[in-house]
Amino acid sequence: MRALVRPPSPRLADGLLTHIDRHPVDTDLAMQQWDDYVAALADVGWDLIEVPPAPEHPDSVFVEDTMVVHGDRVVIARPGAPERRGETAAAERTIRDLGYSVSAVTQPATLDGGDVLKIGKTAYVGVGGRTSEDACAQLADGLGMAVEPVPVTKVLHLKSGVTALPDGTVVGYVPLVDDPARWDRFLAVPEESGAHVVVVDDDTVLMAASAPRSASLFRERGLNVVAVDISEYEKLEGCVTCLSVRLR
């Protein structure tokens, strides 16, 4: 397994906020938490590839938003926030250098990678926030997979509200999910950040330390849980998912 990561900008504390109030970000702690996040991915056996830093872009650490990967195909995003559009160029160069087949979302469509949740052969795409409905057809063409739009109005990205466990069960924090009935297998979790899991393998998820009750729920289902503290990124509407691009 390989994943892309991108070192935080020194201007991280100026990151965009949409649904939450601003709280001071401890940039030194954020740097340490990023090192710990990367170390946690390395500990579970992943090779990490760094996208060159973009110090002028406060939100650039959230590298997942720059692209969507499926097998050997990549669609470069066109971020819904104009302030973030400059983040994609270096990310695209990095993934091209790795030999991937690359296409890109074209205007006027917009798409943030954090709005795309792949489960099996389907990509669910959150529309209504940063991602526009007209990006869906472009994504389907570029990835060669089925795409289903779902509404997102209560959180920044689709994956701020729901992700999926290794067995495909969708996990979500109901107050922030527009349509929980959208998924046949849906597990409500008791904490907002409990809805954010990175699937490591069939038996293991990585998630935020801020969701201990959700972690217990997952352990009761037989999963191993790797927890990382990403408190400073949570203040910027970031999750464990948006801090990396898993190449799979």
Residue 11 corresponds to which tokens in the numbers above? Answer: 């201007």
- Residue 61: name the closest of 46, 76, 50 by CA: 50
161 is a contact residue toward ligand GLY (CB under 6 A): no
Give the three-state DSSP class for 242.
coil
127 is a contact residue toward ligand GLY (CB under 6 A): no
Pick out residues in 30-59 that bind ligand GLY (CB under 6 A): 59
- Indicate the residue whose CB is closest to ligand GLY: 16
Choose, from 136, 157, 196, 239, the residue flagged as catalytic: 157
236 is a contact residue toward ligand GLY (CB under 6 A): yes
Are 163 and 119 in contact by the 8 Å Cβ rule? The answer is no
Q: Considering the complex, state which of residue 58 and residue 165 has its C-beta at the smaller distance from ligand GLY.
A: 58
Rounded to the nearest whole angstrom, what is the least distance from the CB of residue 51 to ligand GLY in the complex? 16
- Residue 91: name the closest of 110, 70, 109, 68 by CA: 68
Q: Considering the complex, state which of residue 49 and residue 81 has its C-beta at the smaller distance from ligand GLY.
A: 81
Stretch that binds ligand GLY, among 11-19, 49-57, 116-124, 139-147 (CB under 6 A): 11-19
Indicate the pairing of strand 73-76 with strand 101-104: parallel
Q: Considering the complex, state which of residue 14 and residue 186 has its C-beta at the smaller distance from ligand GLY.
A: 14
Residue 235 corresponds to which tokens in the numbers above? Answer: 């203040």
Residue 74 corresponds to which tokens in the numbers above? Answer: 């990549």
Phi, psi of 171 (to 5 degrees): -110, 135
Choose, from 136, 196, 239, 242, the residue flagged as catalytic: 242
Are 208 and 196 in contact by the 8 Å Cβ rule? The answer is yes
Question: From the list 7, 8, 15, 126, which residue makes contact with ligand GLY (rule: CB under 6 A)?
Answer: 15
- Establish whether 157 is a catalytic residue: yes
Stretch that binds ligand GLY, among 4-12, 15-23, 29-37, 47-55 (CB under 6 A): 15-23
Residue 7 corresponds to which tokens in the numbers above? Answer: 């070192």
227 is a contact residue toward ligand GLY (CB under 6 A): no
14 is a contact residue toward ligand GLY (CB under 6 A): no
Q: Which residues of 152-188 are buried (b: 16+ CB within 10 A; e: fewer)?
A: beebbbbbbbbbbbbeeebbbbeebbbeeeebeebbb
- Establish whether 136 is a catalytic residue: no
Binding site for ligand GLY (CB under 6 A): 15-16, 18, 59, 62, 81, 156, 236-237
Catalytic residues: 157, 242
